[in-house]
Amino acid sequence: MHEFTRRLGSHPLVLTGRCLEFGNDGLAYAPFLPLMRTLPQVSASRAELFSELLSTLERSAADRPVMLVLEDLHWADGASRELLSFLVANVMDPGVFMIATHRPPAGQFLLELGRSASVVRLTPAPLTRHEVGRQLAGLRQREPDPVTVTKVFERSQGNPLFVEALSQSPDDTPAELRELLLARLPELAAAAKHLLEVAAAAGVLAEHQVLQTVGGLPENELHQALRQLVGEHLLVVSGPGYAFRHALIRDAVYDSLLPAQRRSLHAALAEAASDPGQRSAHASAAGDHALALETSWQAAATVTFAEAARLHFLQRVLELWSEVDDAAAIVGVDRLTVLDHAIKASVETSSAPVGLRLCAEALALEPSVQRYLHQARLKNLTNASGDEDLRQALLLSPPDPLRGEVLAELASLKVFRGDTAGALADATAAHEIAERLGLSSLLAHAHTFLGLASSSDPVVAKEHFARARAVADPHALVTVATWESALLTAIGEYDTAIDVIQQGLGAAHQTYEFSRHGPILLVKWVQSLIGLGRFEEALELIDETQGGQDLPSLSNAALLISRADALLALGSADAAQSAVDSAQALLGPEPWVRSYRLRLRTAQARLTPERAAALYAAAIEDGLAEHPHEAWALVAAVKPHPLPDLPVIGPVDAAYRAEALGQTRPSAGTRARSGAMGLTARELDVLRLVAEGKSNRQIAQELFISGNTAGVHVSRILTKLGASTRTEAARKFLDAQR
């Protein structure tokens, strides 16, 4: 309200009053005191007072608009409520504008007030992740990193007050905020307070049966306590149980428990829980290591299609191993077997730091081809290289199927290093093994890397990718789509690349491998959008991707460089520089990230032309010619004389060469798709699915975004179209199609 009235300037008459927290025991008419001070004399009766206040407002409005701001209406005393009702019913002058703020719950008085035709109720929506990022940037006076934005967004749930409180310590609840939250808790009956503490220890969702068992309350008393907690907006009904209205309230209540209280509650919750994962968590919190070890292993064995959860439970087993006597007897396997399960899960979830630590322990106990192969794949997600691990795997003379996998992995590494001859040799050897043994998945991978190694001849490369597609199962199709889209993006076939990417994302979801393969596919999608000039969509997709998961460092770096490219195209140089600085911190000097460094130097050259010559010289020393597509983009930014002798493959390279010669700007970026109805192309895709009657969850599944992001898109669409419902928005879309 302060910001709103400040921006009105000096012309309107602004009168601001605040209700006092004491309510009926406080000062009558407290929020109206600024208005009452303008009265010429004290009125004799309530009717005369009300009439005089109304006349004063309307007389003042004859000279200039009057803004009456009433803060904290939830604390309004009875006299103030009566006066406000009178004014709402009787003010007729359009120059008088009253605005009141209140915190939920609304209460009967506010509900009745809202029925008036002259009253509009506004409920501010929580901030989106992007808006939280903007608030953090303002608070910190610098661009926040994506992980911090995500943590603060998730913990604050978009509440601006909580965003500010968490801005300096995203992982902790500051003492001041905890005290504020606890101070705002209403007076609760003893049973309700006890049940709130049980719910806080139970976690995100407290099932009704668990609350009944652990709470130990008679049924009538249980229901009465729950009604109070729901009525006071502390808990909300959620499926079979209850959740806290805000996670930070739950944190504050939990942190207020004494250590002995927590252990006792968790022990009871472990006994009451039926799910092995929940029993494991509560047993750990209660300090029962043996039960925690046993139930963690059970949870890891029973979880399905959720490798991240499996890895979490396997890590807990390994952490508890030394805390329990005869751990192997409790879980029924030795530690090396648990390590192998955990390593596989870390590969499936691209959890490189965890997986590499586990691989080091397992290889020290017993070297094997599969462990070296896993270690190589995990290293390839970081700035390290898996070359030496793959060579060690070959030295162990693996059987042919596994040897083919190692050779295919070597081929992919050599492509990244620019060693196309070596990549062709390894991919050809893998192809021979796959054909001889009839291994369709390995054959698809071999053709994929033969296609990448043949990228200097797009026709040949496309033939290899077509053969890869013909034999690929859904698992292999993800890899095929990833690298086929890389080729298509490099030669400027952006629309086709996006089609291939979406097929790959669909296969990644189908095979539950999205966390492993999704990031690089999303990077290629962003690059294709930038190539088409759809910069706003690219930035939106980057926000969704960086906010939705923990990314491998190279994928994160690639997205940050793409962010800089899009921001530069939109004229936001400062924000682009921040993205470049963040990306640079993620890239090392290793040869396998050379293509990323070339793209980074291109953005740096466009941001700081005075450094262009030095950046170009460093790129030549780094190996400019081994990645000609990325090299041409840098050459276009620097415009050296003479131009380097690089192959020109496809129209994008040709356009960059023309720009370097000063002949024209590159064609990439001139095929921008204008959004109809004032919407971005992404929003049009969402609106089309809304018109088909799809829910936010179905939209999220089809567009490969989170349900929360789908909801944000729908909210923005409704706002832009001036539609109050999804049905109205769908009708406007269908009318526009006609």
Q: What is the pLDDT of residues 581-598, one digit of tens each?
A: 999 988 878 777 889 999
Region 176-201 average pLDDT: 89
701 or 353, which is more confident: 353
pLDDT band at 3; cut points 50, 70, 90: confident
Which tokens in the block code for residue 684?
């049009």
Helix (H, G, I), strand (E, B) or coil at 236: strand
Helix (H, G, I), strand (E, B) or coil at 443: helix
Can you state the percent helix, strand and coil of the chain, rounding each to 5? 70, 5, 25
The residue among 264, 263, 282 whose CA lies nearest residue 273 is 282
Question: How far, in Å, CA of 553 to CA of 523, rounded?
Answer: 12
Sequence-distant (≥ 6) Cβ neighbours of residue 227 within 8 angstroms = none
Render pLDDT for 252-270 as a digit per residue (tens, 0 to 9).
Answer: 899 999 999 999 999 999 9
Helix (H, G, I), strand (E, B) or coil at 230: helix
Sequence-distant (≥ 6) Cβ neighbours of residue 409 within 8 angstroms = 373, 376, 377, 380, 386, 390
Give, for 715, the enclosing helix (H) or strand (E): helix 707-721
pLDDT band at 283; cut points 50, 70, 90: very high
Q: Is the pLDDT of residue 472 over 60?
A: yes
8 A C-beta contact, residue 322 and residue 331:
no
8 A C-beta contact, residue 467 and residue 483:
no
Bridge partners of 15? 68
Please report the pLDDT score of residue 548 as a whole number: 60
CA distances from 80 to 13, 20, 486 (A): 21, 11, 67
The residue among 672, 660, 449 whose CA lies nearest residue 566 is 672
8 A C-beta contact, residue 73 and residue 110:
yes
Region 679-697 average pLDDT: 84
pLDDT band at 674; cut points 50, 70, 90: very low
Question: How far, in Å, CA of 666 to CA of 657, rounded?
Answer: 8
Question: How far, in Å, CA of 64 to CA of 95, rounded?
Answer: 7
Question: How far, in Å, CA of 358 to CA of 360, rounded?
Answer: 5
Render pLDDT for 552-573 as a digit per residue (tens, 0 to 9).
Answer: 888 899 999 999 999 998 888 9
* The one-letter amino acid at 519: P
Region 218-230 average pLDDT: 94
Question: How far, in Å, CA of 690 to CA of 579, rounded?
Answer: 34
Share of the chain above pLDDT 90, in %: 47
Region 703-710 average pLDDT: 70
Taking every pair of Cα atoms in the chain, the longest distance, rounded to a whole number of angstroms, is: 105
Question: How far, in Å, CA of 460 to CA of 470, rounded?
Answer: 16
Region 595-612 average pLDDT: 94
322 or 513, which is more confident: 322
Helix (H, G, I), strand (E, B) or coil at 126: coil
- DSSP output for 240-309: TEEEESSHHHHHHHHHTS-HHHHHHHHHHHHHH--SHHHHHHHHHHHT-HHHHHHHHHHHHHH--S-HHH
Enumerate the H helices of 157-218 as residue ranges: 160-166, 175-183, 190-202, 208-215
8 A C-beta contact, residue 283 and residue 310:
no
Render pLDDT for 319-344 as a digit per residue (tens, 0 to 9).
Answer: 999 999 999 999 999 999 999 999 99
Sequence-distant (≥ 6) Cβ neighbours of residue 317 within 8 angstroms = 293, 296, 297, 300, 331, 338
Give, for 237, the enclosing helix (H) or strand (E): strand 235-238
Q: Is the pLDDT of residue 26 over 70?
A: no
8 A C-beta contact, residue 95 and residue 65:
yes
Which tokens in the block code for residue 469?
């597609």
Please report the pLDDT score of residue 21 as a whole number: 67
Question: How far, in Å, CA of 733 to CA of 544, rounded?
Answer: 25
Q: Is the pLDDT of residue 635 over 80?
A: yes
Please report the pLDDT score of residue 124 as a whole number: 86
Question: How far, in Å, CA of 229 to CA of 199, rounded?
Answer: 11
pLDDT band at 23; cut points 50, 70, 90: very low
8 A C-beta contact, residue 321 and residue 335:
yes
Render pLDDT for 125-142 as a digit per residue (tens, 0 to 9).
Answer: 889 888 898 899 888 888
Share of the chain above pLDDT 70, in %: 95
pLDDT band at 703; cut points 50, 70, 90: confident
Please report the pLDDT score of residue 259 as a whole number: 94
* The one-letter amino acid at 94: P
8 A C-beta contact, residue 638 and residue 616:
yes
Q: Is the pLDDT of residue 41 over 90?
A: no
**Angle value at C-alpha 357, between 352 and 559, nearest 5 degrees:** 15
Which tokens in the block code for residue 322?
């030394």
Give the CA dihedral 515, 518, 519, 523, nearest 10 degrees.
Answer: -170
**pTM of the model as a whole:** 0.67
Question: How far, in Å, CA of 660 to CA of 633, rounded?
Answer: 9
The residue among 419, 343, 333 whose CA lies nearest residue 376 is 343
15 or 40, which is more confident: 15
pLDDT band at 271; cut points 50, 70, 90: very high
CA torsion sign, 717 to 723 to 724 to 725? negative
Q: Is the pLDDT of residue 365 over 50?
A: yes
SS (H, E, C) 343-364: HHHHHHCCCHHHHHHHHHHHHH
Which tokens in the block code for residue 712?
């944000």
The burial of 511, by beta-carbon neighbours within 10 Å (0-12 exposed, 13-18 middle, 19 or more buried), is given as middle
Q: Is the pLDDT of residue 648 over 80?
A: yes
Please report the pLDDT score of residue 349 as a whole number: 83
Render pLDDT for 55-82 as a digit per residue (tens, 0 to 9).
Answer: 888 888 888 999 999 988 888 888 888 8
Q: Is the pLDDT of residue 666 over 50?
A: no
Region 458-485 average pLDDT: 94
Question: How far, in Å, CA of 522 to CA of 349, rounded?
Answer: 16
Give, for 485, the enclosing helix (H) or strand (E): helix 474-490
